[in-house]
Amino acid sequence: MDDQPRLMHAHAAVGMSGHPGLSQHIQDNTGATDGDGRKQDIGDILQQIMTITDQSLDEAQARKHALNCHRMKPALFNVLCDVKEKTVLSIRGAQEEESPDAQLMRLDNMLLAEGVSGPEKGGGAAAAAAAAAASAGVGADNATEHSDYRAKLTQIRQIYHTELEKYEQACNEFTTHVMNLLREQSRTRPISPKEIERMVNIIHRKFSSIQMQLKQSTCEAFMILRSRFLDARRKRRNFNKQATEILNEYFYSHLSNPYPSEEAKEELAKKCSITMSQVSNWFGNKRIRYKKNIGKFQEEANIYAARTAVSAASVSAHGSQTNSPSTPNSAGGYPSPCYQPDRRIQ
DNA sequence: AAATATGATTCGGA
DNA sequence: TCCGAATCATATTT
């Protein structure tokens, strides 16, 4: 393989002198029909080939030219190709591997699904997530994060595409180069078009395995990005003051049984512009932390107790007095905000 | 920078 | 499936 450039250059001079491509020789094999002098001819040609190395380069070129012009050359070429096909190529013929293809498909599908590859702009999943979050909550609050996420996603996508393009270009360049080389050489060596095709396939396989690595690492990068994005702990935001107030109000006014029902959770979630599971988390955290250190929460408890007392008073002043279901025990709970461990927390 | 607060996750139990 | 408990990872305060 390493002496190919030399061969090619050496041959270029001959090739330039108006020889048609080899394939043409093969196709119109008009000179190979007469059979009697054939063996003799072939013997001659072989003899000439064997002695060609003894001659000077110029002489060799001349010989080569003469050989190429010989009427039996196409036939000989075919024979040599056949022999080569039977001996060498058949050995490494039937080892096709299909599993990388399947894996490549998987990676492709994933990249497509995640909006990394495929149609540009606003990759599906990301866009949907962003839209959902935007409509669900405080837009400006997490808009920066989403744009950050989007920016990183586009960055990954960009790198992926440029790399992919680079690989493709390199692959094409290399393939055409090799093909030209082989075509050139096929004038002097028994290289059939089939073999060239095979070589091209081999090259493509190699490059596609490189491509697969690229796709794999892109997938990995994307997974990391997404896990970062989805792991809420990494980007925890405190609830806004209003939401915290609403939650605390409910908590302290239901201190004897701070377990909001499904409906109550739903309503709280709506009021606070957070999800229901966030409400559940909040109450879970609140209960355990309150229980752990009641003293620390006394002040807070008193504040909210007083507040609900006021609101209850104003309600009763209005006259309705529907034995408010939201103030079981906390109306005056002062020094120890009468949190009764009777229910659950203990 | 250290301490504390806080939202989320994980895990075992009922 | 929900809860308490422990823990994580970040946010905020000191």
pLDDT at A67: 76
Confidence band, pLDDT 50/70/90 cuts, at residue A31? very low
Whether residue A324 is predicted with pLDDT greater than 60 in this model: the reply is: no
Determine the Cα–Cα distance for residues A103 and A112; give it in Å rounded to an integer: 14
A187 & A305 share domain: no
Scanning chain A, the segments in alpha helix (DSSP H) are 4-16, 22-27, 38-51, 57-69, 73-84, 99-113, 124-136, 139-185, 193-230, 241-253, 262-272, 276-292, 294-318
Which is nearest to A120 in space by CA: A81, A69, A86, A160? A160
In a domain, A206, yes or no: yes
A153 & A185 share domain: yes
DSSP notation for A202-244 = HHHHHHHHHHHHHHHHHHHHHHHHHHHHH-GGGG--PPPHHHH
Q: Which CATH number does the domain housing residue A265 bear?
A: 1.10.10.60
Q: What percent of chain A has pLDDT over 70?
A: 61
Whether residue A303 is predicted with pLDDT greater than 70 in this model: the reply is: yes
In a domain, A230, yes or no: yes
For residue A343, give the nucleotide whose C1' atom is nearest its CA. Answer: C3
Contact A301, A255 (CB under 8 A): yes
In a domain, A329, yes or no: no
A273 & A161 share domain: no
For nucleotide B7, the protein residue with its alpha carbon nearest to C1' is: A236
Whether residue A1 is predicted with pLDDT greater than 90 in this model: the reply is: no
Confidence band, pLDDT 50/70/90 cuts, at residue A292? very high
A299 & A210 share domain: no
- Please say which residue of A234, A269, A300 terminates a domain: A234
A198 & A250 share domain: no
Whether residue A279 is predicted with pLDDT greater than 90 in this model: the reply is: yes
For residue A279, give the nucleotide whose C1' atom is nearest its CA. Answer: B7
Helices and strands, counts by H and E, chain A: 13, 0
Could you give the number of structural domains in chain A? 2
A154 & A278 share domain: no
A171 & A292 share domain: no
Whether residue A120 is predicted with pLDDT greater than 70 in this model: the reply is: no
Spacing of A288 CA from C5 C1' in Å = 8
* Range in A77-81, A143-147, A308-312 the model is least confident about: A143-147
In a domain, A222, yes or no: yes
- Please say which residue of A182, A215, A234 terminates a domain: A234
pLDDT at A276: 94
Which of chain C's bases lie under 7 Å from a protein CB? Answer: 2-12
In a domain, A106, yes or no: yes
Whether residue A21 is predicted with pLDDT greater than 50 in this model: the reply is: no
3-state secondary structure of A264: helix
For nucleotide C3, the protein residue with its alpha carbon nearest to C1' is: A284
Contact A136, A146 (CB under 8 A): no
In a domain, A333, yes or no: no
A108 & A196 share domain: yes
Contact A45, A76 (CB under 8 A): yes
CB neighbourhood size of A297 (10 A) = 20
In a domain, A45, yes or no: no
For residue A228, give the nucleotide whose C1' atom is nearest its CA. Answer: C9
A180 & A217 share domain: yes
Q: For A155-178, what is the mean pLDDT?
A: 89
For residue A235, give the nucleotide whose C1' atom is nearest its CA. Answer: C10
Whether residue A55 is predicted with pLDDT greater than 80 in this model: the reply is: no
Q: If you ran DSSP here, which 8-state letter would residue A19 be given?
A: P
A152 & A225 share domain: yes
Confidence band, pLDDT 50/70/90 cuts, at residue A316? low
Residue type, A6: R
Which of chain B's bases lie under 7 Å from a protein CB? Answer: 5-9
- At A72-105, the pLDDT tens digits run 878 877 888 788 777 765 655 555 555 667 777 7
Spacing of A230 CA from C8 C1' in Å = 15
Q: Which of the given ranges, A58-67, A161-170, A180-189, A227-236, has the highest pLDDT on average?
A: A161-170
Q: For A324-336, what is the mean pLDDT?
A: 37
Q: Which residue has the higher pLDDT, A52 or A261?
A: A261
A111 & A220 share domain: yes
A293 & A213 share domain: no
For residue A261, the enclosing domain spans 241-316
* Range in A13-27, A223-237, A282-296 the model is least confident about: A13-27
pTM over 0.75: no
- What mean pLDDT, rounded, does chain A reach? 71
Residue with the two structure tokens 């309600």: A315
